[in-house]
Amino acid sequence: MGCEKNLSDNSDFDTETTAFLRLCSEHYDQLVDHLSYVRRRTSAEATASWLELIAGFAGMHHPGRFSDGSIDNVAIELGSELGPARSAIPGPLFCGNSERKNAKPRFRVVHVVTIALEISGYTKMLARWIRKDPDSRHSLILTRQGSTPIPAGLVAAIDASGGQIIAFSDESPILERAAWLRAVAAGLGDFAIMHLIPDDIIPAIAFSDQTNIPIAFVNLADQCFWLGSGVSDAIINLRDISFAANQELRFTRNNLSVLIPLDDVGDMSRANARKALGISDACTMLLTVGRAVKYSPSGRQNFFQTVDDILAANAQAELYIVGVGEDDHVGNINYRCRDRMHFVGPVADATLYQVAADIYLEGFPFGSQTALLEAVLPGRPCVRAVAPRSPLLAASDIALDGVAMVPCDEQAYIDQTSQFVTEEVTREEVGSELRKRVLLHHVEENWGAELYRTYDAISKIKHQPCSIPVTVGSARTVDLAISEYHKTRFRDPITESLMQTLIQRSILDAAFSLRQRNHYRDSLSFARLANAKTGWSAYSLAFVIKLLPHYIVNKISNR
């Protein structure tokens, strides 16, 4: 049973956003339409690659739906056909210290993560989660880590808990990794908790087996399409607004909650932090932290123009933008106050900047919840993102409610910031209250109590994979809001031709990956599909010319 099709409700969004959403929905449908051909004419490995390709496209080009049985259910079918691993399962890279390993834990928790990166909010969140749960033994399985170094902080947290770390090569076949995951997860944990990039197909295939342990999915990306509803016995939400969206848009079961875990900043002083960074005590330091893509101006909102107005109105203020380099947004505005706008670029740890700051500004059009909560923890006030078209695109947390108001427009954002700049007493009062609330909900015993309530609930669930409804494109306000944000990545007009080129490159990337895994016939089939509508480009021809000798040799050797 599909959702009602509704691509005509354009609300008050501009025509470009509506057209972009429609274009993404149509191309998503085309990729799904090709799935039956791929399933019939290629291998199961190629089908898994195609599912991953569709989910990757949907995660970055919102298709008017947040989940879809058209691909989730096929992943479960692949899992029902999955045999045992054909090669040796990778051994642990790290084994926990023997003292903790031999102790009886309250729970054995296995975390399934796509890839752990040094500069990554969710990697740091996971390390904090594990450190703040010392009564459990935590193990880690990485489905796509390859040769990327595992962050030392995460390794230390796993080791201290007595758990193991197993990392799969990203060059191994998808189905082989799924077989490995199925084989090892139950031996490591009482239940598995998934922390995944939205297009990670491996757990959706691996956990289609009804005999596995209970599976919970951490909702890290509640604003976009992701895989896994069908095999997830429970969803762990990091904020309350995710609950309604899950039940309405993702067909989830057993919606639970664990707020983002945080560590207190300790006794570092503002003066010492500023000294370490070379920032004058005289300036009023404004701070914002986030990935560059989150600040790309939309048709309605321009963060850089707004903060330029703030700096122009407050001569003593200076803004530090952590996570964004100046070259990331060249040409977005003509700066009047460039000398007081400091583009710091990505840093592994923003703590010094957070302690040194006077006021935190949430970026827009897409805010950063964890960054905001970390920034107010030292006792600093925040100005939340300008009211988004969908609440999924900004911070939303019980610690902020009733204290930090959401500005209705850019002028309100400027006014709130200017008030904090000029009124030091207000700044300290609001900052102090926010610190108390964040400590209560994210740092102190309340967080651990909530975690164990969630663990208890998961441990009592019997793993039961199920199909989910097939969905169709919609243009609800939430769909248009996400599409408006996704459109900010494109500086050139988004045309049918541009979208076809993006799709073609994505299919050829998948074809290259299949070639690397020695699936030459499947790779050639993908190359044909990549050029079915656009004709053969020079790039495609060069790819096939390199592929053909491998294909021919493989065909001869298999006779």
User: Is residue 500 located within the same domain as residue 427?
Assistant: no
Give the count of domains, the chain. Answer: 3
pLDDT digits (tens, 9 = 90+) for 327-379: 887 666 677 888 999 999 999 899 999 999 999 999 999 999 999 999 999 99
Please, which residues bridge with residue 237 across strands?
A: 257
Domain with 416, as residue range(s), is: 270-444
Q: Is it the case that residue 538 has pLDDT exceeding 90?
A: no
User: Is residue 256 located within the same domain as residue 386?
Assistant: no
Q: Which of 500, 552, 377 is nearest to 23 (CA)?
A: 500
Residue 484 lies in a domain: no
Question: How far is residue 179's CA from residue 277's CA, in Å, rounded to a whole number?
Answer: 49
User: Is residue 292 located within the same domain as residue 430?
Assistant: yes
Residue 116 lies in a domain: yes
Give the CATH number of the domain where residue 323 resides. Answer: 3.40.50.2000
Q: Which of 341, 329, 255, 330 is nearest to 292 (CA)?
A: 329
Q: Is it the case that residue 96 has pLDDT exceeding 80?
A: no
Out of 376-380, 411-415, 555-559, least confident range: 555-559
User: Is residue 402 located within the same domain as residue 417?
Assistant: yes
Distances (CA, A) of 105 to 94, 135, 217, 432, 453: 18, 6, 22, 37, 16
- Report which secondary-structure segment, H or E, holds 114: none
Which residues neighbour 122 within 8 Å (Cβ) at sequence distance 6 or greater?
195, 220
pLDDT score recorded for residue 299: 80
Question: How far is residue 370's CA from residue 363's CA, in Å, rounded to a whole number?
Answer: 12
Cα 281 to chain center, whole Å? 36
Q: Is it the case that residue 10 has pLDDT exceeding 60?
A: no
- Asked if 379 and 431 count as a contact pair (C-beta separation under 8 A), the reply is yes
Domain end: 379, 409, 444, which one? 444
Amino acid occupying residue 313: A
pLDDT score recorded for residue 333: 65
pLDDT score recorded for residue 104: 86
Q: Which residue has tokens 């400590």?
A: 439
Percent of the chain residues topping a pLDDT of 90: 81
Q: Is it the case that residue 386 has pLDDT exceeding 90?
A: yes
pLDDT greater at residue 138 or residue 338: 138
The phi and psi torsions of 401 (rounded to 5 degrees) equal -60, 130
- Asked if 286 and 102 count as a contact pair (C-beta separation under 8 A), the reply is no
Amino acid occupying residue 339: D
Q: Is it the case that residue 316 has pLDDT exceeding 90?
A: yes
Residue 525 lies in a domain: yes
Q: Is it the case that residue 5 has pLDDT exceeding 60?
A: no
Burial class for 90, CB neighbours closer than 10 Å (0-12, 13-18, 19+): middle
pLDDT score recorded for residue 534: 76
User: Is residue 418 located within the same domain as residue 453?
Assistant: no
Please, which residues bridge with residue 141 across strands?
A: 112, 166
Domain end: 414, 435, 459, which one? 459
User: Is residue 333 located within the same domain as residue 423?
Assistant: yes
Q: Which of 105, 148, 100 is nearest to 123 (CA)?
A: 148
Of the pLDDT bands very low, low, confident and very high (cuts 50, 70, 90), residue 1 is: very low
Rg (CA), the chain: 24
pLDDT score recorded for residue 8: 39
User: Is residue 238 located within the same domain as residue 274?
Assistant: no
The phi and psi torsions of 48 (rounded to 5 degrees) equal -60, -40
pLDDT digits (tens, 9 = 90+) for 49-77: 999 999 999 999 999 999 999 999 999 99
Out of 90-94, 401-405, 413-417, 475-479, least confident range: 90-94
Question: How far is residue 413's CA from residue 507's CA, in Å, rounded to a whole number?
Answer: 43
Residue 240 lies in a domain: yes
User: Is residue 123 located within the same domain as residue 106?
Assistant: yes
Q: Which of 342, 334, 354 is nearest to 266 (CA)?
A: 354
User: Is residue 357 located within the same domain as residue 276?
Assistant: yes
| Whole-number average pLDDT of the chain | 92
Residue 35 lies in a domain: no
User: Is residue 217 located within the same domain as residue 258?
Assistant: yes
Residue 73 lies in a domain: no
User: Is residue 257 located within the same domain as residue 349?
Assistant: no
Residue 232: how many CA atoms within 13 Å on its side-chain side? 30
Q: Is it the case that residue 102 has pLDDT exceeding 90?
A: no
Out of 110-114, 158-162, 242-246, 356-360, least confident range: 242-246
pLDDT score recorded for residue 330: 67
pLDDT score recorded for residue 331: 67
pLDDT digits (tens, 9 = 90+) for 508-535: 999 999 999 999 999 999 999 998 877 7
Cα 370 to chain center, whole Å? 12
Q: Is it the case that residue 7 has pLDDT exceeding 50?
A: no
Which residues neighbour 533 within 8 Å (Cβ) at sequence distance 6 or greater?
500
User: Is residue 281 located within the same domain as residue 329?
Assistant: yes
pLDDT digits (tens, 9 = 90+) for 447-457: 999 999 999 99
Residue 1 lies in a domain: no
- Report which secondary-structure segment, H or E, holds 429: helix 424-438
- Report which secondary-structure segment, H or E, holds 496: helix 496-516
Amino acid occupying residue 235: I
Please, which residues bridge with residue 110 across strands?
A: 139, 192
pLDDT score recorded for residue 536: 83
pLDDT score recorded for residue 224: 93
Evaluate the CA torsion angle 122, 250, 42, 211 in order and state its sign: positive
pLDDT digits (tens, 9 = 90+) for 189-205: 999 999 999 999 999 99
